[in-house]
Amino acid sequence: MDGHALINGIGFFKRLLSSHVAAEENEAPRATLGARMLVVDDSPTICAVLGKMLRQDGYAVLNATSGLDAIGLACSEQPALIFLDIVMPGMNGFAVLRALRHDPRTRHIPIVMISGNPQATEQFYVQRFGADDFMRKPFDRNEVYLRIGQLVQSGRLDGRLPSAPVPAPVEALPALATELSVDELADIPDIAMPDAEATPRLAGVPPLQVVHGIG
């Protein structure tokens, strides 16, 4: 294992440990029960894992596997929050973010960028491109809930009332969510891992050339 991979591994376990501690000491605020969450990722695995995490806390989940689909769903369904992968074929996440931020119908929607690609991660931290937050793959359920909680605390998301009911079963959520059985949910992993092919896909598409000048 090279030094870069070792540092990344240590960083992940530190974040994983800190997220568990934070969740135990002070449970993160939650968004409104049934709030629509749009997950944008060309990986069906990431869509399934992140979707499972969100449904378990009572949210309705929409999925998009391309940038154009993401823009269309964001405009038509007005989700409360978008989780947007950076590395996607065709229209990458930075270009999708730019389009959403320049459209008056979607510019108000909070967006959390996600990526396991070192180049994309570096580009994000150099210039945030108008995103609200960032999650580095791999991530677990606690980190997802903490990101949502921070957006609630900052006023970017409406919070769930203390008296709100316990999250409903998946079958009781709005029809926008993909219906999954209990057994199907159990088969989905609890940690979202980056795809192995993510780095080569981005290598020929420098994000800064795609979204230069975004506000």
The structure tokens listed for 133 are 């937050």
Q: Decide if 6 is inside a domain.
A: no
Q: How many structural domains are present in the chain?
A: 1
Q: Decide if 196 is inside a domain.
A: yes
Q: Mean pLDDT per segment of 10 residues, for the chain of length 215 residues?
A: 49 48 61 96 93 95 97 98 95 94 97 89 74 91 95 96 63 44 50 49 38 34
Q: Decide if 23 is inside a domain.
A: no
According to DSSP H, which parts of the chain are helical?
3-25, 44-56, 67-77, 93-102, 118-126, 141-153, 182-187, 198-203, 207-211
CB 147 within 8 A of CB 29: no
Q: Which domain holds residue 133?
A: 29-211
Residue 23 CB-density burial (10 A; 0-12 exposed, 13-18 middle, 19+ buried): middle
Q: Decide if 5 is inside a domain.
A: no
pLDDT at 190: 52
pLDDT at 59: 97
Q: How far apart, in whole angstroms, are the C-alpha atoms of residue 147 and residue 9?
A: 20
**Residue 83: which CATH number?**
3.40.50.2300
Q: Decide if 18 is inside a domain.
A: no
Beta bridge partners of 39: 63, 83
